[in-house]
Amino acid sequence: MALSTLMTSSVIQAQEYPDKPIRLVVAYPAGGTADAVARVLSEALTKTTGATIVVDNQGGASGAIGAGQVARAEADGYTLLLGANSIFSVVPHLRELDFDPNADLVPVAKIADSTRLLAVHPSVPAQNMKEFIAYAKANPGMLNYSSSGNGSTPQILTEIFKSAAGVDVQHIPYGGAGPALNGLLSGTVQMMIDTVVISQAESGALRGLAVFGNARIPGLPDVPTMVEEGFTELRSAGWTGLFAPKDTPADIIEMLSIEISGLYNDPAFIERLSSVGVDPDFLDPRAFADSLAVDFAYFGDVINSAGIAEE
């Protein structure tokens, strides 16, 4: 079903939407979870709508660079953002931006939740969470962890974990989840909490210790969740979602949302999304906006109470 069949000509000034390529900005470098989700989504929408969708990775500043580009783009439906919760829930609490993600961008659809795994390099002599905490406490400041950048959700989750566990692990930020994973695989850092480590733990290249999510990972059935390990206060999952510049016509937002919702009836799409390490979970613009507000308040409270500051 083409998007244009859902529109009235009065909204788009007698032109059909889309009649030119759509630029899908991914606010993170290639190789990370958001990038993988964007490519699955763009491929599926290309098939169902006939639209040309160009994925454009604009990583940096925990997603703020790419998000800022979309926020300043023309609000015509031809520039969209694939972003994650750090842009909306974390970064605004840590530093001043030259735009307001929660005011200058509007939600189109939530695409998926992201289960995360705490994984360590095989050189770390710990087979489970209890042993890792004991080892870290015995070697304060000697272990490093990587993240996709300062202000990223994985960094915040790791800092919360450090506080709860009483361990001192040093942060080494990278310019995206892919480079951060490479740092862990090479042994430059010893620990990482993210989605991209899951497949590497399943293959044996890394050792998974605990799941940040609501359930164990099928490919790692012996790895417990953080709740099972006693960390009941940690908010576990992140998300990826689609956004547009504010003032984008409501009809375009609604049509894109409807088109995306239809993908969740396709088992092949669900399987493709699941294969990149996320849990498919659609929300329409209104429900997604409500969820954004909850996340913004939660992470604001956590960051303020923990005294977390951008490095």
**E strands, 74-196, in order:** 79-84, 105-114, 116-120, 143-147, 169-173, 191-194
Tokens read off for 214:
């609501």
pTM for this entry? 0.81
- Predicted local confidence at residue 237, as pLDDT: 62
- Predicted local confidence at residue 121, as pLDDT: 98
User: Distance between CA atoms of 95 and 101, rounded to whole angstroms?
Assistant: 12
User: Distance between CA atoms of 275 and 112, rounded to whole angstroms?
Assistant: 12
> Could you say which residues of the chain have pLDDT below 50?
1, 4-14
> Angle 199-235-288 (CA atoms, 0-180°, nearest 5)?
90
Strand arrangement, sheet containing 143-147? 169-173, 143-147, 191-194, 116-120, 207-212
Query: What share of residues in the chain are helix, strand, coil (percent, to 5)?
Result: 40, 20, 35
Which secondary structure element, helix H or strand E, spans residue 165, and what is its range? helix 153-165
Q: Is 283 helix (H, G, I), strand (E, B) or coil?
A: strand
> The tokens 């950048």 sit on which residue?
149
Beta bridge partners of 161: none
Condensed to tens digits (0 to 9), the pLDDT of residues 14-29 reads 358 898 999 999 998 8
- Predicted local confidence at residue 14, as pLDDT: 33
Rounded to whole angstroms, what are the CA distances from 25 to 120, 130, 261? 31, 41, 20
- Predicted local confidence at residue 75, as pLDDT: 97
- Predicted local confidence at residue 2, as pLDDT: 55
Tokens read off for 240:
């990826």
User: Distance between CA atoms of 220 and 229, rounded to whole angstroms?
Assistant: 15
